[in-house]
Amino acid sequence: MALNHACLPVPAPARALGDPSRGIIACRDALSTGVELSTIRVVLDGMGSDDHPRPEVEAACAAAERWPDPLTLVGPRRLLESMLTGDGRSRNVTVVDASEVVEMTDRPAGAARGKADSSMAVGLDLLRDGQADVFVTAGNTGAAMTTALLRLGRLRGVRRPALAPIFPVAGGRAVVLDIGANVDCKPEFLVQFAVMGSVYAQTALGIRSPRVGLLSIGEEAGKGTELIHETYPLLAAAGLNFVGNVEPKEVYAGQVDVAVTDGFTGNVFLKTSEAVARFLTETIRREITSAPLTAAGGLLARPAFARVRRLLDPAEYGAVPLLGINGLVFIGHGRSDARALVSAIAAARSAVESGLLEALRSAVEPFFGQRHATA
């Protein structure tokens, strides 16, 4: 069945797969309409970041000050409550006790199965049991993905979940996935990533008909690995707004809204982008301050440089969603500070408001559910 890429995904009753004229996504007149909720219940892993729990406690207090909704912080109750005591901003913060911590050095499977009372597992249980709308962690990425799979499961029909950050590009933003959840992929995985990425671009970026590109080493259909060769015709036949193969330069030129790749290539793309951004900002700063004349010119250009720095700063984006899980899960960088975690909470709240999970379910389950009903 073809994906009706001209319409915004919304929750809709299941429809017969044999009726392609109906599509799998219902149309909406306005892109701005999302899920109306009286409160958005965010659960924050209090022991996730490298410097836990101080960044998490500070972020929880800042978020409670910024939004009126209650926020749940998960971790050792006595420790977290002692740090919250005396901060007037913490009145909307509730602590849920968890006795174990998933360390960055833990093996994902071992942490998921062996630490049932970790802050990560307890937080995901709150989401699974309907006591939260979204879960945010800056913890061990592999452990977060494995624990989420174990406790929440996948959306019906999804073979593999995918990490999907939003990148700043010329003229706007673009979704790139997968950036590390799946190192080894099959062609059908990439097709699913494309569908989920399109839904995310529609809900998060307001793009009615996202342009989907397959990340490769050249624009020609015959270039790339065997995985690229096998995926290309599947994407071309999927009913998406598929524009063909794209190189990284086309992604940053804003020629696609969704770039699809395997997790290994996507992770290299992400880390290279971060490294180049740091190199350029540091080089510009060093050159500007190297002589009095350039320093004077730099003072005049400071507002522009500040805007560029914010645009390239990972802390501005906070965390990325794990698409394909039966629940909203956002995973941030282990080096996240309080500012990055507040940005992560903001991104998580936006996903709830836009109805991302319902949109994914209404698109993915009819699209793939029949073929992989037991996957």
Task: List, in order of start, the domains of the chain with CATH numbers.
Answer: 20-272+310-368 (3.40.718.10)
Query: CA Rg, the chain, in Å?
Result: 21
pLDDT reading at 316 higher than 80: no
> What sign does the dihedral 281-250-267-353 (CA atoms) show?
positive
Half-sphere exposure of 100 (CA within 13 A, CB side): 16
User: What are the DSSP calls for 114-166, one per residue?
Assistant: H-TTBHHHHHHHHHHTTS-SEEEE-S-HHHHHHHHHHHH-BPTT-SS-EE--E
Read off the DSSP letter of residue 235.
Answer: H
Report the percent of the chain where pLDDT is more than 70. Answer: 82
Confidence band, pLDDT 50/70/90 cuts, at residue 283: confident
Confidence band, pLDDT 50/70/90 cuts, at residue 326: very high
pLDDT reading at 26 higher than 80: no
pLDDT reading at 30 higher than 50: no
What are residue 39's phi and psi, to 5 degrees? Answer: -140, 155
Please give the average per-residue pLDDT across 319-340, as a whole number.
95
Please give the average per-residue pLDDT across 246-256, as a whole number.
96
Q: By the 8 A CB rule, do 144 and 331 touch? A: yes
Confidence band, pLDDT 50/70/90 cuts, at residue 21: very low
pLDDT reading at 173 higher than 50: yes
Residues 105-143 have pLDDT tens digits of 999 999 999 999 999 999 999 999 999 999 999 999 999
> How many residues in total does the chain contain?
375
Greater confidence (274 vs 187) lies with: 187
Lowest mean pLDDT among 11-15, 120-124, 250-254: 11-15
Helices (H), 206-327: 226-236, 248-252, 263-288, 292-312
Please give the average per-residue pLDDT across 54-75, as a whole number.
95
Greater confidence (34 vs 154) lies with: 154
pTM for this model (two decimals): 0.84
Residue type, 88: G
Q: By the 8 A CB rule, do 194 and 364 touch? A: no
